[in-house]
Structure 1
Amino acid sequence: MTPIPPTRRGACPAFLAPMETGDGLILRLVPSDGRLSPVQLRGLADAARRLGNGMMEVTARGSLQVRGLTAETVPLLQDAVVALGITPRLGLAVDVSPLGGMDPTEIADGHPLAAAIIAGAQPLAGKLGPKVSVVVEGGGAVSLAAQKADVRLVAAWPGHWALTIGNGPARVLSEGDAVAEALAALASIAALGRAARATDLPGCGGRARVAEAAPPLGRIPLADGTLAFGFGLPFGAGDAAQFEALAEAAEATGARDLRPAPERTLLATGLSPAGVDAFAARIAALGCITAANDSRAAVAACAGAPACASAHIPARALAPVLAQAFAPLLDGTVSLHLSACTKGCAHPAPTTLAFVGMDGGAALVHDGPASGAARPVRPAADLPAAVASLAATLAARRNPGETTRALLARLDLAGLWAGTATTDGPEKTT
């Protein structure tokens, strides 16, 4: 019997609909123009400290979250956001690359198409469920491939977009036809009720196509001759002081703005070559992730206990242990997930290895989502040692030249996690 059943909610926290969890209410903010000036980020961090518990997060979809709010402080934070000149995105979620229109490597700027969909979907306000979303991928340095979407539009060539509804087939259409078809799909979803998703439409169900996307880290040249610099806070979270320090670093080095981006990252834009070096040095000193070879970049982790009411394990506290233990095995063929319950909020898609909270401990899932967790379960108190032991065993058993993914495919991982497999076997047959 699971003592803390995961609460499957039909929505995520939003600006006008915060969600309650273990450490209070969470408010999610997406700036409508996708950017925050250093002054705005500093002001938001100050409001998070005064009105919440000071913790802020960048989500996998590039949203900002403020934690630890109360029913009394939520409207005060909302007022503070507006007073800072930040216009929050409301209604239908339409995600576009934060560098759209600035990235010289993109096929097309997705903003005009996104704006047409937002305008056309206005009559559907209140009829679509809060989790219905649209992703517009123009190509370029920032990938949105890992973001789930009810309607996805991917630039095929200038003026033409590949449209996918739910898990249906992709069709390449002119931009005008793509907008019309996207709006028709959204209207069909709305007609089925607020609980409906695109996968409920005829021909749009079936098996989801899962994609991985590398976080946009490091220098990115921009069309105007300046540079962007992508970075992340460890496991997507930091306190108000860290966000204030980021704002100060951006201001001191000449950054134009800071943009929340996919895979729990932020992009500082408008930097000169000298400015980008200075910015990178300052945020590295703050403990930020600045390169793909940082083992922390391979680990997705939710807040976990005690911040989340559904949590069985302190996922974010365990994340550094996991990153350090598995660092020698992170060869680019694997991804890791620490989920405090089977909801898998930090990474809904499958990962190579997921350590999932259940029954007061953690189960191990190989090549699957957190929702696929099953026994055996290691007790929560044993997890740091269990994770380190598993990583050491895997490293010892890897053959020369063998990828970590291939290694995992041939081993009895359930037995290793339970402590019943020996170092000589059994192994899966391939």
Structure 2
Amino acid sequence: MTPIPPTRRGACPAFLAPMETGDGLILRLVPADGRLSPAQLRGLAAAARRLGNGMMEVTARGSLQVRGLTAESVPLLQDAVLALGITPRLGLAVDVSPLGGIDPSESADGHKLAAEIIAGAQPLAGKLGPKVSVVVEGGGAVSLAGQKADVRLVATGPGQWALTVGNAPARVLPEADAAAEALAALVSIAALGRAARAADLPGCGGRARGAEAAPPLGRLPLADGTLAFGFGLPFGAGDAAQFEAIADALDAAGARDVRPAPERTLIATGLSAGAADVFAARLAALGCITAVGDPRARVAACAGAPACASAHIPARALAPVLAEAFAPLMDGTVSLHLSACTKGCAHPAPASLAFVGMDGGVALVHDGPASGAARPVRLVADFPAAVASLAATLAARRAPGETTRALLARLDPAGLWADGAMNRRAGKDHVTSRAE
């Protein structure tokens, strides 16, 4: 069959620039203040049903997406967002912890620096590419380590911030200089043109592996003595009815607000201990992810076919199969990525195992990004049996006390996957290693 070429647009869907894909236009929304009231979430879900196909997503960077829009319905949804009192973030993406300022475990609140960078970057509007981003991480319960950034500031101590531009070595700066130095880096990127990223600057390129960050799930203490509670929808997606039911659960728990967060999660704030327990039970009944031990929490999956025009496989439909098969091996040391094509939108950084749709089948990349996929592939129809066999083979060879990451490094899972593909073509039903 003719491969479907992945469409690389050099941008992501945005509030003012929705993106066309297989199921229509996608609009991405980041609340400027980082939070929604239960009523606003309910209203957004109703608008998604009325104006789109009803599907909503929480992205790896903590953005909200509404799918299935048309050119005619996009402005209506934009008007609905404003009518709900939601102010969308526009322009340069500067990310801070969703619990910044209320997290007692953070080293510093990044909001002040973020505001200085946003204000200082206004003259660069139209000069920076749409994917250029900044992360200001003050530490605490919500890690931003998994988010790629052109410019990153990380609190290292009282009044001290480490600045990293692209993949250059970090420089520790006093807080008084941090915003100005970050802005200087952005000016340098802009000077190279809208297609430039930080890695294009002298000394800022090279290969760097993105960090893995645990999703912020479950109870999180807040500075005012109340609790936050982190949760997620399976693989970051749900229909309008699920989001409306979540809004009802937020109201019933007396939550102050809900905050989109990294790793496809949402965080409710202002809960009492008793309300948090009831809230968790209601979320579980809705099929939500509420604990780090849930294997679905470490599986990233894009929408896949038929929602995405570049997709080779129905990634999100296959994701539960992958999570179930690898559940016994999910010990917190590995991440899984199921990508419908080699773009790897759901997890741009390297994953422990990336199952990638290509040439009408599924390839496997070990310890790398989806873009590293190569033949041979397993047929899509064989995927459930193939992942079950691979997981069983790995589990059977795991030594006592061995982490799954160490196991994968020792056994060459990509080789097992390839050998399984060859054996399948030879009429065999089992997966064998190259050593056997």
Partner residue in 1 for 2:427: none
SS of match in other structure, 1:35: coil
- Alignment of structure 1 residues 81-230 onto 2, 5 Å: 81-230=81-230
Q: Kindly state the Cα deviation for residue 191 of structure 1 after the two structures are TM-superposed.
A: 0.8
How many residue pairs get aligned? The number is 428
SS of match in other structure, 1:327: helix
Q: Distance in 2 between matches of 1:305 and 1:209?
A: 28
Q: Is the 8 A contact 2:415 2:433 kept in 1?
A: no
Describe the superposition over 1:212-239 as per-residue Cα deviations: whole angstroms up to 9, x where unpaired. Answer: 1000000011001110000000000000
Partner residue in 1 for 2:5: 5
SS of match in other structure, 2:356: strand
Q: Is the 8 A contact 1:411 1:426 kept in 2?
A: no
Deviates more, 1:332-341 or 1:401-410: 401-410
Partner residue in 1 for 2:253: 253
Describe the superposition over 1:322-350 as per-residue Cα deviations: whole angstroms up to 9, x where unpaired. Answer: 00000111122211000000000000000
Q: Is the 8 A contact 2:389 2:431 kept in 1?
A: no
Partner residue in 1 for 2:434: 426
Describe the superposition over 1:234-263 as per-residue Cα deviations: whole angstroms up to 9, x where unpaired. Answer: 000000000000000000110000000000
Describe the superposition over 1:175-194 as per-residue Cα deviations: whole angstroms up to 9, x where unpaired. Answer: 12111111111011111110
Partner residue in 2 for 1:235: 235
Q: Distance in 2 between matches of 1:426 and 1:379?
A: 20
SS of match in other structure, 2:268: strand
Q: Distance in 2 between matches of 1:413 and 1:294?
A: 23
Distance 1:134 1:412, change over 3 A: closer
Describe the superposition over 1:369-411 as per-residue Cα deviations: whole angstroms up to 9, x where unpaired. Answer: 0000001111112111111121122222222332222222222
Distance 1:376 1:89, change over 3 A: same
SS of match in other structure, 1:168: coil
Distance 1:425 1:315, change over 3 A: closer
RMSD between aligned alpha carbons?
1.3
Q: Distance in 2 between matches of 1:40 and 1:408?
A: 44
4+ residue stretches of structure 1 with deviation over 3 A? Answer: 420-425
Q: Kindly state the Cα deviation for residue 273 of structure 1 after the two structures are TM-superposed.
A: 1.1
Q: Distance in 1 between matches of 2:108 and 2:433?
A: 52
SS of match in other structure, 2:224: coil
Aligned-partner residue type, residue 132 of structure 2 = V
- Alignment of structure 1 residues 241-390 onto 2, 5 Å: 241-390=241-390
Partner residue in 1 for 2:395: 395
Unaligned runs of 5+ in 1: none
Partner residue in 1 for 2:426: none
Deviates more, 1:403-412 or 1:166-175: 403-412
Q: Is the 8 A contact 1:2 1:358 kept in 2?
A: no
Q: Is the 8 A contact 2:22 2:309 kept in 1?
A: yes
Q: Is the 8 A contact 1:103 1:223 kept in 2?
A: yes
Partner residue in 2 for 1:20: 20
Deviates more, 1:174-183 or 1:250-259: 174-183
Q: Kindly state the Cα deviation for residue 198 of structure 1 after the two structures are TM-superposed.
A: 0.6
Q: Is the 8 A contact 1:376 1:414 kept in 2?
A: no
Describe the superposition over 1:80-114 as per-residue Cα deviations: whole angstroms up to 9, x where unpaired. Answer: 00000000000000000000000011111000100
Aligned-partner residue type, residue 52 of structure 1 = G
Q: Is the 8 A contact 1:411 1:427 kept in 2?
A: no
Deviates more, 1:401-410 or 1:339-348: 401-410
Q: Distance in 1 between matches of 2:207 and 2:273?
A: 45
SS of match in other structure, 2:86: coil
- Alignment of structure 1 residues 46-85 onto 2, 5 Å: 46-85=46-85
Describe the superposition over 1:144-203 as per-residue Cα deviations: whole angstroms up to 9, x where unpaired. Answer: 001000000001112221101110111111112111111111011111110000111111
Q: Distance in 2 between matches of 1:13 and 1:325?
A: 32
Q: Kindly state the Cα deviation for residue 278 of structure 1 after the two structures are TM-superposed.
A: 1.2
TM-score by length of 2: 0.96
